[in-house]
Each structure stands twice: as C-alpha cells, then as structure tokens.
Amino acid sequence: MTLAHRSPPEASDGLQEARLTSRRDDDCLIVGFVGAWTTRSLDDQEDALAALSPAGAGRARLDLSATSELDTAGAWLVHRTARDLEAMGLTVELEGARDTHLGLIRTVSQHDAPCPPPPEAENPIVAVVLHAGKATFTICSEARDLVGFLGHTIVALLRSLAQPSRIRGKAVVNHMEKAGLDAMPIVGLISFLIGVVLAYQGADQLARFGAQIFTINLVGIGVLREMGIILTAIMVAGRSGSAFTAQIGTMQVNEEIDAMRTIGLDPMDVLVMPRIFALVLVMPLLTFYADIMGLLGGAVMAMLVLDISFVQFIRQLNDAVPIWSFWVGIIKAPIFAFIIGMVGCYEGFRVTRSAESVGLRTTTSVVEAIFLVIVLDAMFSILFSFIGI
C-alpha cells in the first residue's frame, strides 16, 4: 500500500456521518472515506465495505481527503480495506490523508498480525502425565525450600539461645497472648465436645459387651495421647499459623521487610523468632488445657449416660490411664508448635507483591502445617509404640 499526503480542506465544526463512496476511473477503483470515521459512526459501514466490487480494476485509490475525523477503529477499517484489495491483486494507493491520520494507519498496519492457530488437542494420557510431573516438581521444590528455611530457623534459634539479648521479650509476650490466651475459648469448646463425643460413642459401642466402664479408659487414653494435642495443633495452625503468614505477607507486599533489612534489622530475629518462641511456650499449656476440657466433657457424658459420679470417673481414670499417656501429648506439643510457627513464617516470606498472593499463601500455610503435624504425629505413634510407651 502506497501512502501519499495531500493537504485536504479544513473540516467543519460539525461532524459528518461516516459515508463510503466508490467510483471507477478507467481501470482504477476510487474509494472515498467521507465524514467522521470513528467508533460512534461505523455501525453501518461493514455492509458498504463488503459490497465493494473491484471487478475489472487493476488499481485502487483510497481517498481520505474528505475524512473529517479518524480514530483507531476507522484506521483499522481503512487498513483492512487496503489489505483486502491487495489480496485481490490490486495496487492500492492512499491519498488525501492528514499527517495524524497517516500516523494512525501506519500504527495499525504495524500491529496487524494473523491470529495464532488454535492449539491442537492434547493427548489426555500425556496431559495427565505432564500435570503429575509438574506437580511432583513443584512439591519437591517447595520441600527443598522448606528444609532450607528450617536450617535457617535452627541457626537463628541457636544464635538467640546463645545470645539471649537478641530475644525480643515484649514481642514474645504479645504473641503468647494472641496465640495462647485468645485461643483458649475455641480450644476448650472443641476439646470439651470431642470428649463428649468419645464418651457417648464409646459407651454406645461398649454397651453391647457389658463393658461400659471401659468408656473411661477410651476417653482418657484418646484425649491425653492423641485428641488433645491434635485438636490443639489444628486450632493453632488455623488461627496463629495463618495469622503469621498474613502478617508477614502483608509486610512483604508493603515492602516493610525490605525496609527492615535496609536499616540493618534481621527479619529472622524480629519476625520469626518471637513467634516461634511464643508458640513453643504456649502450646504445652494449651494442650494441658485441652486435655482437662476433653476429660471434663467425657466425665459429664459419663455421668449422664453411664450414671457414674465424678469421683468414680476420676478414680477409674487414675487406675486405667498411665501417667505416660499424659506426657506423650505434652512432649509432642513444643515440636508441633515449632513446625506450625516455622511454616507460617516461611509462607509469609514467600508472598509476592499482590493481595491475591497473601490469600493463597495463607491457605497453603494452614494446609502444610496440618499435614506436617499429622505426619509427625504418626511418626511419634510408631516411635512410642516401638519403645513401649
């Protein structure tokens, strides 16, 4: 397409309707673009452009001397008309256009690219294998990064224990209040109800054998060894672990962590260690509280269903449940707390510069923490069974 410039007459203040004219001059098809070729006035021009008949013509001239206004949509129609006429074998010239109009047409023509072909249908077996491979690679990469953060956390922990002045006492107490004291209502309620459920279901099943008294054994061992610590860990992961991720992630979005590093503060000392210390200190206390509430729920249900007094419940519990059942849950508590705090902080540092990433990493933090807690609990069960506890 040849672009030529000719100074057109000045347009009037009132905008004319877009109109297409065509005439023949020997073997030349002259197409005139009259009026304002803008988005608002192009609705009826598609039919007129489609009706252009270059039959018998060897050349075409697109005349824009009467074009008063031209926007991107109009420039695209002019370019498309020239392209289609060239595809029919005509030599196309453009004349009478203003400099601004020529610039728009050149810009549109430079970005005229054919649509990419639709992707071929992928073999479903290949797609499944590819998806599984990508997921495996992602999981392995995250596991590697998490192990690296674990090492970094242990180094910072040992450094803080070697230099107690690095521990921020006020921050630790603040997080202990939020993660421990504020969690007592929900932890206590859930533990009490689980104790009620264990006692009711146990009594219902053991009644078939005339052994309802062993419901106390079931409640005591179940709550002290497993349910108390597991429920507490899940509640803490859902409350505090997600809060750690959201807090650190929001700081990451606001570039506060970068500013912290700029002024010489280590985010591990300022953000991670106080949270981990707080969780490690309050988790055994929360677990003890959950154990008491779970046993209380079991005692209430035993009194209602089995007609066993509270004193009888305590006496049977003391005879049937060894002290190690209590210590098994307490020993797990600080380790689970360390894992929950580490995962929460790790996912917070992985937040990118968007609010969507904060939500995604918060969800991932809770899922990872609960998964690791359950895996570790299974490993502890195997270990304690192996050593006879």
pLDDT at 33: 85
pLDDT at 7: 43
Domains and CATH numbers, the chain: 2-110 (3.30.750.24), 151-387 (no CATH)
Give the pLDDT of the chain (389 residues) as one tens digit per residue: 555 544 444 444 455 677 888 888 778 888 888 888 888 777 777 777 777 777 777 888 888 888 888 888 888 888 888 888 888 888 888 888 888 888 888 888 888 777 777 777 677 888 889 899 999 998 899 899 999 999 999 999 999 999 988 889 899 999 999 999 999 999 999 999 999 999 888 888 887 877 778 888 888 998 998 899 999 999 999 999 999 999 999 999 988 999 999 998 889 999 999 999 999 999 999 999 999 999 999 999 888 888 888 888 888 888 888 888 899 999 999 999 999 999 999 999 999 888 888 999 999 999 999 999 999 999 998 998 888 87
Q: What are phi and psi of 34, to 5 degrees?
A: -110, 140
